[in-house]
Amino acid sequence: MVTLRQYIKQSTTVKIFRAFYRQFEDFLTTLGEIVSNGFVTLKYILKGQIDRKELMDQCVRFGISSLPITLSIVGMTSIIVTSQVASEMVKQGGGNFVGLLVSILIVREVGAVMSGFAIISMIGSSLASEIATMRVTEQIDAITVLKVNPIRYLFVPRVLSGIIMMPILVVIASAFGILAGAITTAMTTELGFLAYFDSAWLGIYMKDLGVCLLKSVAFGGTIALISCSCGYQAWGGAKGVGLATNKAVVWSLVAIVIWDLIFSIAFFF
């Protein structure tokens, strides 16, 4: 009987089940920590308990430092899409709608989503590794001993900077993407800038701009909150820092896709 029990415990099925259970438990724990930290952070923001100097530093980090890579990713995505779509639309007699299609695509999806991916790769991973390092080196414990709330000190300026700066980044990146699409269209087809921009404005409405800004606010706050929360949970030295950073990137990417799905269903379905 003992041998059979040991055999069952060492079987592949049991190992897979245990691995799945650990992953599910970790998922629930992480989700709970993110939600809990989000409520505490929101409480401090609504009370106005904000370190303005730290907030400005994080805004510079979140906005200005990430602007080059954000413009690069959105611009290249616009060039790739436009180079494949513009010539085909001209062949099919739809050249007058190239600007409309590209502008709608960038304002509704590419600008916000690709900017979010750029922020995750550069800022989100940096936030997670920074706070994870503070956790494993017991700096956060020292902050707590000094009777300073770590959520207020670490989370509030970072999350608020994401909420403030992400819409600005998305607006700049979207405008840059539309301009990149115009240049690509002029280089790959016989359409000029005037024809492109004449059709571009036909497809952009205030609803699209409003949804884009609202989506970018959700993206920025979510990326910062998830990155800080994953770093805050880190343990186990250098390996723990790497795992926390990896978790922050994965969770942020999934969260961006889920948010994008929610906004698409709510406003465009």
Angle made by CA atoms 168, 174, 177, in degrees to the nearest 5: 140
Rounded Cα gap, residues 99 and 5, in angstroms: 68
Cβ contact 215:259 at 8 Å? yes
pLDDT of residue 126: 92
pLDDT of residue 226: 94
Beta strands in the chain, from DSSP E residues, in sequence order: none
pLDDT of residue 13: 67
Neighbours of 242 (CB within 10 A): 15
Give pTM, 2 decimals.
Answer: 0.88
Residuewise pLDDT in 10s, the chain (269 residues)? 456 666 656 666 666 767 777 777 777 888 888 899 999 999 999 988 888 898 999 998 888 888 999 999 999 999 998 888 888 888 777 777 888 888 899 998 899 999 999 999 889 999 999 999 999 888 888 888 888 888 998 999 999 999 999 999 999 999 999 999 989 888 888 887 888 888 888 778 888 889 999 999 999 999 999 999 999 988 888 888 988 899 999 999 999 999 999 999 998 77
